[in-house]
Structure 1
Amino acid sequence: MLLRPRVEVSADDPEMEMQMNAISQAIIEVQNKRQASTDFVTLYHFIYQMCLNDLGPDLYANTGDLIVTHLQEKVCAEVIELPQTEFLAGILNQYHDHLIVSQWISHLFTFVDSTLVRLEMDPEEHLLTTFQLSYDLFRQHVLGNDHIKEHLTSFMLATVNADREGDTIDWLTFKKVCQMLITCGIESRGFYEEVFETPFLEQTAKFFRDQSESFIKDNTASDYVKKVNESLNEEEERALRFLDDATRAKLSNVLHEQLIAPHMETVVNMDTGVEFMVRNNHLDQLRDLYKLLAFLPEGKDVFTTALKKFIRDAGQEFTNPETDFEPIKYIESIVALRNQFKLILVEACNSDLGVQKTLQYDFKHIINLHERVAEYLCQYFDQAIKANPKEAADINAKTIQGGIDVFCFINDKDVFEKYYRQYLSKRLLAGKETLNEDDVEKTVVNLFKLECGSSYVDKFEAMFRDIAKSAILMGNFPKWVTAEEERELREAEGRLVIESMITAVEKQEEEEKLKAVENEAAKEGEKNGAPVDSKIEDTPDSKTDDKPDPNTGDTTEPKEDGDIAEKAVAISEANPKEKDIDIYVKVVNTTHWPLTDTRDERAKITLPPDAERAMMLYMKYYVASHESRHVDLWHNFGTADVIAFFCPPADDEIGFTVASKLLVVTTHMMCILDRFNYRDEIKYEELLLDTKLPEQMLKRALFSMTSKKSQRILARKAAGRVLGIGDSFSINNEFVNTCKNYRVRVANMLPKGATEKLHDDKKKDADPAKQDAAHWAKVDRPYEVDAAAVRIMKARKTMSHQELIAEITQVLANRFVPTPVMIKRRLEDLLYREFLARDEADMNLYHYVA
């Protein structure tokens, strides 16, 4: 191959100068919207030859000079002469014409861009392509002209103001002008921000600052929110029409800072602000206000603070000593407030986690302000569970769920557990014989289990198991009674047969003795020569005993098998078992049930004979199948259905009528009412002696049946103001009640002076178990802390002091919240008892001692 040496050519070379002039002439012709005199291929070949001869930089510089000359001499002059109404459209037309020329030059200079700009480009100089160069020169010499730039900015702002005032504008042209400013900046938004964005945002801030001041002066909170939202929506629509995304984001921030930020606290604290909206349940207004404030980071805090203030104020009303709340109404008020704010959280705050967490903290605070909230909540559940679920299933479910919501917030869950066991035991003992899986009792306990774990409801579930076992026992009881009767009947028949055989043998022996006496008498007569009479009188030893039989009362001895059967039936009827009374016994374990072992509650009282026989029969049945168990009767938990007959006066000739009522009473009341089967009027001392009831329980039962007019079964002749010695009682024949089955409720409080201790009916309860529930729960807490600490240390072996305190607090959170002081004291006690030991090198480190 033959290689020719390269010939150096300068820009002064006639051929190169001719090519340069041709290219320049073609560019000028195109700029003036004329056809180039030289064809495109020839021009491209000229550019190629010049680049091969290293004249590319000269060509690149010459082209830039041509563009600058055209822009300064022609384009700027035409733009400056444009009228105001056509300024934006005119400058946009000049830009489009320049864009066409730039594209033609870019195609022509493709080889220059690929060689000079991309291959030989100095990174420090950052050389532009010819297309970018034309954009940059247009920005510098046309848009950057002081006169043109000033007019462009003012005309664009005026156009925006006209649109805000409702005038019609050419928004499509305006959008293209904005795009032109961004494009001419090439890879930077600086020029666009300088010419339009910054002045636009400043003008917008001033406009809406003045607007917000006028809004806040003349409108309520809801009206202010509506007008602000209208302004935001209008500005958002305007921005979507002709602004780019980055400018829209900045515009949104400016709007929020001017319309919302300065007046956030003013709006929420207005008379028509958050408190007014919450009290009147204006969820739509709350939702709009929350959405408006949520645009700012501190807006949610301001909104949440207003809600917190309302909750705290409501809590102060609930815990105000001067406010007289009944337990049920107190919990209902808390539940209503909780449900209201749950609805606000979902409907107005879009279930925001931050707001939810804050509201939960404040609810927990106000709920635990009342020291008896656990007891009140148990009473609330008791009333809800006793409601008929078939008639109002939805209402009852909502009521129970409301109680569960409150339960989640109380700190003293251990106190609640003791109170709830008391109420649960009364419902189970007086309620259904069996519980289904979907029963409301088990449903509530399952909800407790979800919240606090399975260990929290162990005793509740054990109580359910006792009720189920009792149902099984009662199901087998009638079969056992029948078998027992048959066995006793067979034994009675056997005894009668044996007695009959013994009687026959004794009679035969007496006859033999009598014949022997007659024979001896005959022999003596013959010996003495006296006449012998065949009939002799009965001696005292031979006389028949005519006393009635102790079992049958019959003086005739049974001679046949039929007589024996009749005697057996008579004995069976003379000893009735369960036929006189129907009983249902529930056997429970004292380990799980809240049965206080006191002398009064386990006292031996005098039951009616039928009830006594029935209970003894069941005791015999139970002991027969559970030989190693000891059974006690707890009469204070029993109930009885008693048929009572009243004789109210009538207007007819007879003078009275007989009215029967089925009374559902306690076992103690049954014992008292049974005494009136034998006497019309009984004194207090006689009732105390006959029933053997402890005096306090006797007074409570009598007070329950004599105090309220609606359940005044007994009439009392009082010896004094206080029920007690000297009083006498009789059946109140004027007792009237429309219910066929009437439950006589036990009075919650004894009358003042009825016991040695005086009770305040608003602060104390006569039931000692209720009084001691909270006390014993707090007594058990140190032992629970000890158990938790030992379990944790047994698993971890070694822990620091702070870690152990945090772990114990977390473990016991489902029962109560132990204080650090309590935990520290219990740890010291465990150290003393050598369950734990301190590290010799680090005193804050504990070791488990096996």
Structure 2
Amino acid sequence: MEIETWDSLEMVVKEFEVGWGFVEEGIRKIKNILQGRDKTNFSAKAYINLYTTVYMMCSQKSPYQYDEDLYDKYKAVFDDYITSVVLPSLREKHDEFMLKELLKQWSNHRLMFRWLSRFFDHLERHYVKKSKKPNLSAVALTCFRNLVYEEVKGKAKDTVISLIDQEREGEQIDKALVKNIVDIFVEIGASELDYYTEDFEKFFLKHTSAYYSRKASEWILEKSCLDYIRNAEECLKIEKDRVAHYLHYYSGEKLLKKVQRKLLIEHASQLLENEYFGFRALLRDEKVDDLSRMYRLFSKITNVLEQVSEMFKQHVVAEGTALVKQAENSASNKQGNKKDIVGLQEQSFVRKVIALHDKNLAYVNDCFQNDSLFHKALKEACEFFCNKNIMGSSSAELLASFCDNALKNGGGEKLSGEAIEEMLETVVKLLAFIHDKDLFAEFYRKKLARRLLFERNASDEHERSFLAKLKQECGGQLTSKLEGMATDITLARENQASFEEYLDSDPHVDLDLDFTVTVLTAGIWPTYKSFDVSLPAEMLKCVGAFKEFYAAKTKRRKLTWIFSLGTCIVNGNFEPKTMELIVTTYQAALLLLFNAADRLSYSDIVERLQLSENDVARLLHSLSCARYKILTKEPNTRSISPTDVFEFNLKFTDKMRRIKIPLPLVEEKKKIIEDVDKDRRFSIDAAIVRIMKSRKVLSHQQLVTECIEQLSHMFKPDLKVIKKRIEDLITREYLERDDDNPSLFRYLA
């Protein structure tokens, strides 16, 4: 039936049944199209007539206004179609065929709604809006949900889960079908996910937990730990892909957590602590790929990841402690020159620590994806064993000695400049773990001074580069004096060049020998023990010439001569051959005494040099009792006594033309430690005063905490020392205790 003219329409719609008959005819055509009985589409004329019919029935005046009746008929159309067509077709199908039929009927339902929404557009825009009733979309959806969805949701859910299980077992399934059915669970709730979560997701997640619980139990019994881990990683990847392919993204995190719990969390201890394939075993055997896989699996599980990082820390601590024990045992078992043995062991130990740190840092960066938790674990582990005393030396001293050796000759090896730079870079990283950075700085300063003064450094560039790295890591407070020393040496070379020009320009000054002076700034160099000595005339002439030069060049500066650091090359005219002797200034002064006398007694030498007996004894021992016997003595014993008499050994010879005659070493370690302890007391005093000046009033605990925090970048203050310094500052009236609360301090301006 088609409506031909507006006039006939106006007559027809006065009766509802007649008007509805026109609309119903159009609805019948839609049903036929959906069921495949009609292959033709609506003509434009038919569509306009149907729309106009509804429009007229809604817009006529009472009693011919049928909008409410049309609204009821609209719902009845869906109820009738679902009851007569949809449900019977669904009830006769099962499993996957039922899903396909459900998808077909859901598609037809949406198509039917789209057509009817066009015909009933006027009803939607006016009546529904004015009456505040559910819109036509909600009515259509409610009809399908109440009549179809509620009946088939259980079967649909079970069938979908069954298909997913089949895919988990390696079978091929129709993923598009599963996705479209899951979409029905989502869309049936309109903009809400309540139906999806309650009717599908909840059961799916529960089933997933049970499935992987069974799988985990099977794999634990049947597979190795590594195979289990690989299977778990593959399953997590597959489940993640499953969400992307046909589940709602809202389920992604929940699904992965369920799988993680059943495969990983519930078996974490068994997997991580396995004797042969656990986390420690993988570290021990350097299984990089498996370590990376294990990290990826546990990286999203906070509590377990903390457990893994703690195991990593314990592993590094164990390796480091083993190195310490090995170094101690090796040093105690070896025979020979103790100093040489300990020196070699120190170098070897630091190299092994560097290798240990680099290996585990590579794990952190590559296997553990630069995770801050593992950086922290590595730092704490290295701090544990790097601050132990090794072979009677602190780690600060060992590190300073290692740097000295590396900067002198590349650590005893022929290393490229790039290799030395990498080594020094790692040393700076290790220094970050050392608590006593100020002690390292003092040991390093002593060794740097000797390298600079005696020109033993392999490269000025490496020296400057290392100081720059130290400054970046520890701050300018630690490196200021070190940088000043390097600058001093540069200025000293310029000063020496000026002195040589001065000598060349004055014909009246002729020193008859090469004379080099290094002028240093007293405040930034280590303090050296030095005594005045009665110098030979040749040396006095040189000293006097330089004093005149320096006095003319500078004003108000006082020169203090440190002869203990001086080096001389003396020609020894022995009967076999003439040799060059590299000696200290004191040794040279003693040897030159024999130019004027063939024999000298111990007391004669003391009197002429004007040095203490202990210092003279050291000099004589180095020249007559050590390796090179430049002097002979009577009696011929291994020790020096006041009754000894000495002669120049004319018969002395050696296969070398030039030899260095060292003085017995003076133990400096004790003095360095004492100096550092003294400086620490000053630092603690300054920190306490600085804190109290800004805070005015502070409790004992807060003061100690802030003091430790301020000083920890250089050293770890001892609580007892802090307490003593507080008491001392109270005595000196910088602080006072509160009368009512003894644990409260006040700053006295």
TM norm structure 1: 0.73
5+ residue gaps, structure 2, are: 1-12, 332-344
**Of 516, 520, 528, the match for 1:588:** 520
Q: How do 1:413-492 and structure 2 match up within 5 A?
A: 413-431=437-455, 439-482=461-504, 484-486=506-508
Matched, 1:228 2:232: yes
Q: Which residue identity does 2:19 align to in structure 1? A: Q
* Residues 1:602 and 1:734: Cα distance change in structure 2 (over 3 Å): closer
Distance 2:223 2:652 in 1: 71
Residue of structure 2 in register with 1:826 after alignment: 725
Partner residue in 2 for 1:633: 561
The whole-number CA distance in structure 2 between the counterparts of 1:702 and 1:317 is 45
Counterpart contact for 1:256–1:295, Cα < 8 Å: no
1:743 positional shift = 4.7
Q: Is the 8 A contact 1:830 1:836 kept in 2?
A: yes
Separation in structure 2 between the aligned mates of residue 63 and residue 201 of structure 1, nearest angstrom: 39
Q: 1:56 aligns with which of 32, 48, 67?
A: 67
Contact 2:628/2:661, CA 8 A, preserved across alignment: no
Pair 1:119–1:661, CA change in 2 (3 A): farther
Is the contact between residue 186 and residue 193 of structure 2 (CA under 8 Å) also seen in structure 1? yes
Equivalent residue number for residue 407 of structure 2? 385
CA RMSD of aligned residues (A): 3.9
Instruction: For 1:299-318, list aligned pairs within 5 A.
Output: 299-318=304-323
> Which letter does structure 2 place at the counterpart of 1:426?
R
Taking the aligned partners of 1:268 and 1:696, their CA distance within structure 2 comes to 65
Task: Evaluate the alpha carbon distance shift between residue 584 and residue 273 of structure 1 in structure 2; reply closer, same or farther with a 3 A threshold.
Answer: farther
1:283 aligns with one of 276, 285, 288: 288
Q: 1:244 and 1:388, CA in 2 relative to 1: closer, same or farther beyond 3 A? A: same
- Determine if contact 1:646/1:735 at 8 Å carries over to the other structure: no
* Aligned partner letter, 1:18: V
Write the mapping of 1:486-635 to structure 2, written as runs, cut at 5 A. Answer: 486=508, 577-579=510-512, 581-597=513-529, 601-604=530-533, 610-623=538-551, 625=553, 630-635=558-563
3-state SS in 2 of match to 1:409: coil
The CA deviation at 1:470 is: 2.8
TM-score computed with the length of structure 2 as normaliser: 0.82
Q: Whole-Å Cα distance in 2 between the matches of residues 703 and 262 of structure 1?
A: 74
Unaligned runs of 5+ residues in structure 1 are 1-12, 122-126, 489-576, 648-656, 749-765
Deviation at 1:182, TM superposition (A): 1.6
2:715 to 805, 816, 819: 816
Say yes or no: does 1:159 pair with 2:163.
yes
Checking the alignment, whether the CA contact within 8 Å between 2:533 and 2:609 is kept in structure 1 is no
Secondary structure (helix, strand or coil) at the match of 1:304 reads helix
**What secondary structure sits across from 2:524 in the alignment?**
coil
Does 726-735 or 782-791 show the bigger shift?
726-735
- State the one-letter code of the partner of 1:139: R
What amino acid does structure 1 have at the position aligned with 2:150? G
Shift of 1:432: 7.1
Aligned counterparts of 1:367 and 1:440: Cα–Cα separation in 2: 25
- Within 2, Cα distance between the matches of 1:683 and 1:207? 99
- Report deviation, 1:377: 1.8
CA distance in 1 between partners of 2:90 and 2:555 (Å): 116
| 2: CA distance, partners of 1:164 / 1:181 | 22
Letter of the 2:479 partner, please give it: V
State the shift of 1:602 in Å: 0.8
Distance 2:492 2:46 in 1: 112
Is 1:251 the counterpart of 2:255 in the alignment? yes
**1:313-328 alignment, distance < 5 Å:** 313-320=318-325, 323-324=329-330, 326-328=345-347
Match of 2:8 in 1: none
Give the 3 Å change call, closer, same or farther, for CA 668–833 of structure 1 in structure 2: closer
User: Distance between the aligned counterparts of 2:251 and 2:688, measured in 1?
Assistant: 60
Measured in 1, the distance between the counterparts of 2:180 and 2:76 equals 28
Q: Give the equivalent residue in structure 1 for 2:246.
A: 242
Question: Cα deviation per residue 1:731-777 (whole Å; 9 max; x = unaligned)?
Answer: 7856335xx765555555xxxxxxxxxxxxxxxxx42x321211222
Distance change >3 Å, CA 388–CA 406, structure 1 → 2: closer
2:566·2:585 contact (CA, 8 Å) conserved in 1? yes
User: Per-residue CA shift, 1:718-739, capped at 9, x if unaligned?
Assistant: 97884334698847856335xx
Bigger drift between 294-303 and 197-206 goes to 197-206
Cα distance, 1:679 vs structure 2: 9.1
Change (3 A) 1:732 1:360: farther
- The match for 2:432 is 408
Deviation string 1:283-309 (CA, Å, 9 cap, x unpaired) is 333222212111212232122111111
Q: CA deviation at 1:842?
A: 7.6
Question: For residue 723 of structure 1, what is the amino acid of its counterpart?
Answer: S
Is 2:113–2:140's contact at 8 Å kept on the other side of the alignment? yes
The question of whether the paired residues in 1 share the 8 Å contact of 2:599 and 2:645 is answered with no
Query: Residue 122 of structure 2 corresponds to which residue in structure 1?
Result: 111
SS at match of 2:515: coil
> Do the aligned residues in 2 keep the contact of 1:839 with 1:847 (CA within 8 Å)?
yes
Q: In the TM superposition, what is the alpha-carbon distance from 1:619 to its structure 2 partner? A: 4.1
Query: Greater shift after overlay, 127-136 or 677-686?
Result: 677-686
Residues 175-220 of structure 1 deviation map (CA, whole Å, 9 limit, x = unaligned)? 1222122222222323333443233222222222233334444555
Counterparts of residues 673-692 of structure 1 (less than 5 Å): none
Q: Which residue of 1 aligns with 2:86?
A: 75
Partner of 1:574: none
Does the CA contact (< 8 Å) of 1:283 and 1:344 recur in 2? yes
Distance 2:81 2:296 in 1: 54
The count of corresponding residues between Structure 1 and Structure 2 is: 703
Identify which of 731, 735, 753 aligns with 2:654: 735
Supply the distance in 1 between the matched residues of 2:632 and 2:16 (Cα, whole angstroms).
139
SS in 1 for 2:179: helix
Measure, in 2, the Cα distance between the counterparts of 1:833 and 1:589: 32
Q: Is it true that 1:394 corresponds to 2:418 in the alignment?
A: yes
1:340 equivalent in alignment to 2:269: no
Distance 1:87 1:713 in 2: 109
Q: Is the 8 A contact 2:225 2:278 kept in 1?
A: yes
Q: 2:682 — aligned with what?
A: 783
* Residue pair 2:573, 2:650 contacting (<8 A) in 1 also: no
**Distance (whole Å) between structure 2 residues aligned to residue 222 and residue 720 of structure 1:** 74
- 1:108 Cα deviation (Å)? 1.6
> Is the partner of 1:186 in helix, strand or coil?
coil
CA distance in 2, matches of 1:770, 1:578: 39
Q: Write out per-residue CA displacement over residues 23-73 of structure 1, whole angstroms, 9 at most, x where no aligned residue.
A: 345434422436699944443344334434554333323332332232223
1:197 maps to amino acid: E
* TM-aligned CA distance change 1:68 to 1:716, over 3 Å: farther
Larger deviation: 261-270 or 289-298? 261-270
In 2, distance between residues paired with 1:391 and 1:359?
28
Query: Match of 2:432, SS?
Result: helix
Q: Is the 8 A contact 1:646 1:733 kept in 2?
A: yes
1:570-619 deviation per Cα after TM superposition (whole angstroms, max 9, x unaligned): xxxxxxx422x21211233443322244xxx4152565x54454344434
In structure 2, what is the Cα distance between the partners aligned to 1:213 and 1:719?
88
Specify whether residues 206 and 73 from structure 1 end up closer, same or farther in structure 2 by C-alpha distance, changes over 3 A only: same
Alpha-carbon distance in structure 2 between the residues aligned to 1:68 and 1:467: 101
Per-residue Cα deviation, 1:447-506 (whole angstroms, up to 9, x for no partner):
3333343333333344334434432332222343345543x7xxxxxxxxxxxxxxxxxx
1:724 to 630, 640, 654: 640
Q: Matches of 1:405 and 1:374 in 2, distance apart?
A: 13
Q: Which residue of 2 aligns with 1:182?
A: 186
1:712/1:732 contact within 8 Å kept: no
**Maintained 8 Å contact 2:100/2:177:** yes
Contact 2:574 2:653 in 1 (8 A): yes
Is residue 665–residue 743 contact of structure 1 (8 Å, CA) maintained in 2?
yes
CA distance in 1, matches of 2:688, 2:270: 51
SS at 2:255 equivalent: helix
Alignment correspondent of 2:273: 269
1:379-431 CA-partner distances (Å, limit 9, x unpaired)? 11211221259962112112212221122222222322322222122222211
